């Protein structure tokens, strides 16, 4: 609620990019900065964010790399997202909160679309059915050299990668290329250099949402 008693709209931000680029680290810093600007912030993640979606997350991230066929995997992601949107994201936005999700639809488009036999339109159709096509107000894509990202992720995980992380580095480069392609066509999607110290990356991210902070 603003001082004049008018309820301000909630904003929906998503942070995307390959494994190890610094998404989780930066989301904490972004949330701090947005809270300092006077807003309530909810941090969430995909797949997951609600009890039902976290249960689906276990199915998606556990087991062998070949556990699910691409179509099954895309449907599981869309089902998890539906629960997450209806039960957490939409209610928070309706209450005027800012929601920051660690991955969202564009990860499905980058990972499950393209090479896996499903088109971008197929993934968007699943999103329309599952989540009424809800799109973020802004999507921040962190980009880092693949080797550097793998180094960051492996020092964090001490060698314990999940099903999707354990796919090869060529796959990670394809994912990054997919995000670049989306950003060329959709103005809500911004590419952000994830190299350098954490605080420098945070200020790059804040400059990509400064318009939203001022208008709110
Ligand atoms: N700017 C940075 N410089 C160096 N290391 C970083 C930076 N940002 C994050 N890290 C470290 O890299 C690892 C991966 O970061 P994380 O936020 O977990 O990435 P993601 O969530 O994208 O997989 C973590 O150990 C984190 O502390
Ligand atoms: Mg993370």
HSE-up of residue 129 (Cα within 13 Å, Cβ side): 12
In a mutational test of the pocket of ligand 1, which residue from 27, 46, 150, 156 has the highest number of ligand atoms less than 8 Å from its CB?
156
Fold classification of 12-215 (topology level): Rossmann fold (3.40.50)
The pLDDT, as a whole number, for residue 164 is 62
20 lines ligand 1 (CB under 6 A): yes
The pLDDT, as a whole number, for residue 6 is 55
The pLDDT, as a whole number, for residue 131 is 98
Please name the residue whose Cα sits nearest to atom 16 of ligand 1: 22
Atom of ligand 1 minimally distant from the CA of 196: 1
The pLDDT, as a whole number, for residue 2 is 47
The pLDDT, as a whole number, for residue 115 is 62
Instruction: Tell me how far the alpha carbon of residue 151 lies from the centroid of ligand 1, in angstroms.
Output: 10
Please name the residue whose Cα sits nearest to atom 8 of ligand 1: 22
The pLDDT, as a whole number, for residue 22 is 96
The pLDDT, as a whole number, for residue 7 is 57
Give the ligand at the shortest distance from the Cα of 149: 1
pLDDT digits (tens, 9 = 90+) for 154-167: 888 876 667 666 66
**What's the CA gap between 90 and 202, in Å, rounded?**
26
136 lines ligand 1 (CB under 6 A): no
Evaluate whether 134 touches 88 at the Cβ level (below 8 Å). Answer: no
Quick count: other Cβ atoms within 10 Å of Cβ 86? Answer: 16
14 CB-near residues (< 8 Å, 6+ apart): 100, 101, 103, 104, 105, 106, 136, 138, 139, 140
Q: What is the pTM of this model?
A: 0.92
Instruction: Tell me how far the alpha carbon of residue 165 lies from the centroid of ligand 2, in angstroms.
Output: 11
Instruction: Tell me how far the alpha carbon of residue 103 lies from the centroid of ligand 2, in angstroms.
Output: 9
The segments of the chain whose pLDDT lies below 70 read: 1-8, 114-115, 159-161, 163-170, 215-216
Instruction: Tell me how far the alpha carbon of residue 156 lies from the centroid of ligand 2, in angstroms.
Output: 10
The pLDDT, as a whole number, for residue 142 is 97
């Amino acid at each position: 609620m603003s001082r004049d008693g008018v309820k301000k709209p909630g904003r929906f931000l998503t942070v995307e990019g390959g494994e190890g680029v610094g998404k989780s680290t930066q989301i904490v810093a972004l949330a701090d900065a947005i809270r300092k600007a006077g807003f309530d912030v909810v941090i969430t993640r995909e797949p997951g964010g609600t009890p039902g979606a976290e249960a689906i997350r276990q199915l998606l991230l556990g087991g062998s790399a070949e556990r699910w066929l691409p179509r099954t995997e895309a449907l599981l992601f869309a089902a998890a997202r539906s629960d997450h949107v209806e039960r957490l994201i939409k209610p928070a936005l309706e209450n005027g909160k800012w929601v920051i999700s660690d991955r969202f639809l564009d990860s499905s488009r980058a990972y499950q679309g393209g090479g896996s036999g499903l088109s971008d339109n197929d993934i968007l159709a699943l999103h329309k059915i599952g989540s009424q096509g809800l799109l973020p107000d802004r999507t921040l894509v962190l980009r880092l050299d693949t080797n550097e990202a793998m180094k960051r992720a492996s020092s964090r995980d001490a060698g314990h990668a999940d099903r999707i992380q354990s796919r090869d580095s060529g796959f990670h480069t394809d994912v990054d290329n997919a995000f670049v392609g989306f950003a060329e066509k959709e103005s809500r999607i911004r590419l952000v250099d994830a190299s350098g110290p954490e605080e420098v990356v945070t200020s790059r991210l804040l400059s990509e949402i400064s318009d939203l902070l001022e208008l709110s």
